[in-house]
Structure 1
Amino acid sequence: MDTCSAFGKVLRQKRLAAGLSQEKLGLEANVQRNFVSLIERGVNQPTITVLFKLAKALRCQPSQLIADVEQMLEQDHQCGD
C-alpha cells in the first residue's frame, strides 16, 4: 500500500467514525467535497494546510492522522512479509 492510499483509508475511517459525509467534512474543512473523495481514493494528496483543516474538522490532531497512516503502513508491510 502506498502513502496516498493509506492516508485516504485513514481519512475515510476518521470521517465515518465522526459521522460525517464527504460533503459535510468538506464544508467543515473548507475544501471541496470532490477533493475529499479524491483524497480518500488515494488519487490526490492534501497539502499541509488542508491536512490541518481536515484534522480540525475531524476534531483530532494532524499528528494523529499521520500516526494512523504510519500504523496502517506498518501493518500492511507486516502482512506483506
Structure 2
Amino acid sequence: MNIPRTASCWQAIGYSHIRKYLTEKLDLKETISLIKRDSRRYAKRQLTWFKKVDNIKWYDLIRSKNVTEKIIEYVNYGR
C-alpha cells in the first residue's frame, strides 16, 4: 500500500515516527520516545482547551468512589 505523504493520516500521533522507523531513519528507542513526547504534548493541549469550557463537569477518577454512578446520575438528572 502506498499512501501519499500528503495524506491526513500522517498527521496522527505516531504515524510519521513509525514511518521513519520502518524506513530505518529512526531506531525503535527514539521512535517510542518521540511518540510518548507527542502524546504528552497533545494531552496538554487538550487539557488547556477543556479548562476553557465553562460548563464542563470534572470527576476525580482516583479519589472518587462510584464515579460511574455519579456520571449516570448527572446525565439523567443533573442537567
Q: TM-score, normalised by structure 2?
A: 0.34
Higher relative contact order (CA 8 A, sep 6+): 1
Structure number with larger C-alpha Rg: 2
